[in-house]
């Protein structure tokens, strides 16, 4: 085929591809695990593995990766994928008798072809619905029947929305704790500030969950950090000065927020995490931990998180996340 013809064919292929954006593609990922790729017309994208209902990539319309996934992450059940957005359910951390962070993050989810309607942002066409139900094996570990519906959606502006709906399909009530354990990619952890958690009470995971009160300034990082902030505002901002980027987290039905960085020693102790990688990630997790959620038979809970990445020309001096939000 002459070069003119092949150039024409390539152009047509792109035109067709662009014409079919936004798009949702089911394909094979690492180790042949099924994943869904969401693409938006302006170029942003996201990837969700059916293994764990786990978002492993969120890119802006410049193709820049906004989430951290370790170069040593293991994409092989039953090990949870190190990075992206693991889902902690029905238990956060070791707050209970189950395995750390519960079992949802190491189960194979399925595509939900007929989900009940969910009032969403009509402009978001790039989304996928996943569902998790307990197997007989799971019921031996956690004897409660449930339906966990997860919608992952990419907005036209590149925002990433995760909406969880958990329904009690059993004959008796059950309680759970929950977190979107989001790993944000940052340029240099010592150059990052978190806004919106000032003066709040928190449980310090490094001090036997002792209850303390945060000081009045933005949070910065100079060592291992592992705190559960209680009753936070619905908006939190992560300001990455070096990248002139602000992540804005909006959350609903998730009163708490966990902030975690393992720093050097913990980093070395984790086999699926690079020794220096603690410098390039920060977990800020929308969560429901302090008060567990109890569902009676037939009841449903909803927990939603919306992530935006905005240029933060307003960072310096403009430390009020509200102003940052108004500006984006």
Footprint of ligand TA6 (CB under 6 A): 80, 93, 100-101, 181, 205, 226, 258, 260, 283, 285
Nearer to ligand TA6 by Cβ, of 112 and 204: the residue is: 204
Looking up tokens 């790039």 gives: 126
Nearer to ligand TA6 by Cβ, of 146 and 260: the residue is: 260
Among this protein's residues, is 285 annotated catalytic?
Answer: yes
Question: 40, 47, 195, 285: which is the annotated catalytic residue?
Answer: 285
Minimum CB separation of residue 310 from ligand TA6 in Å reads: 25
Please return the burial class of 149, using the count of CB atoms within 10 Å of its CB with bins 0-12, 13-18 and 19+: buried
Question: 47, 101, 181, 290: which is the annotated catalytic residue?
Answer: 181
Nearest by Cα to 186 from 138, 235, 240, 130: 240
CB 89 within 8 A of CB 130: no
CA-based torsion, 134, 150, 278, 317: positive or negative: negative
Minimum CB separation of residue 105 from ligand TA6 in Å reads: 8
Minimum CB separation of residue 171 from ligand TA6 in Å reads: 32
Closest residue by beta carbon to ligand TA6: 260
Nearest by Cα to 65 from 184, 180, 241: 184
Q: What is the rounded distance in angstroms from the CA atom of residue 306 to the CA atom of residue 59?
A: 14
Nearer to ligand TA6 by Cβ, of 182 and 312: the residue is: 182
Minimum CB separation of residue 287 from ligand TA6 in Å reads: 8
Please return the burial class of 250, using the count of CB atoms within 10 Å of its CB with bins 0-12, 13-18 and 19+: middle
Nearer to ligand TA6 by Cβ, of 174 and 180: the residue is: 180
Q: What is the rounded distance in angstroms from the CA atom of residue 47 to the CA atom of residue 66?
A: 12
Active site residues: 181, 285
């Amino acid at each position: 085929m002459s070069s003119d013809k092949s150039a024409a064919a390539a152009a047509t292929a792109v035109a067709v591809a662009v014409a079919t954006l936004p798009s949702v593609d089911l394909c094979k990922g690492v180790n042949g695990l099924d994943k869904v790729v969401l693409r938006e017309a302006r170029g942003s994208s996201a990837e969700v593995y059916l293994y764990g209902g786990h978002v492993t990539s969120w890119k802006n319309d410049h193709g820049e990766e906004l989430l951290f996934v370790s170069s040593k992450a293991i994409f092989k059940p039953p090990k949870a994928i190190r990075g992206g957005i693991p889902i902690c359910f029905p238990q956060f951390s070791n707050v209970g008798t189950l395995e750390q962070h519960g079992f949802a993050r190491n189960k194979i989810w399925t595509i939900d072809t007929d989900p009940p309607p969910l009032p969403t942002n009509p402009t978001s066409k790039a989304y996928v619905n996943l569902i998790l139900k307990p197997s007989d094996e799971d019921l031996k570990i956690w004897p409660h029947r449930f339906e966990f519906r997860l919608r992952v959606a990419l907005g036209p502006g590149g925002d990433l929305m995760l909406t969880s709906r958990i329904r009690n399909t059993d004959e008796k009530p059950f309680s759970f704790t929950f977190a979107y354990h989001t790993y944000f990619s940052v340029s240099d952890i010592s150059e990052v500030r978190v806004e919106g958690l000032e003066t709040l009470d928190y449980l310090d995971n490094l001090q036997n969950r002792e209850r303390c009160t945060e000081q009045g300034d933005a949070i910065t990082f100079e060592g291992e950090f592992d705190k559960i902030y209680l009753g936070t505002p619905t908006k939190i901002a992560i300001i990455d000065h070096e990248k002139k980027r602000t992540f804005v987290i909006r959350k609903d039905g998730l009163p708490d927020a966990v902030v975690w960085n393992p720093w050097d020693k913990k980093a070395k102790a984790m086999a699926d995490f690079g020794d220096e990688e603690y410098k390039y990630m920060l977990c800020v997790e929308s969560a429901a931990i302090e008060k567990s959620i109890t569902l009676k038979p037939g009841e449903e809970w909803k927990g939603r998180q919306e992530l935006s990445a905005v240029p933060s020309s307003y960072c310096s001096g403009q430390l009020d996340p509200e102003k940052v939000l108004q500006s984006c």
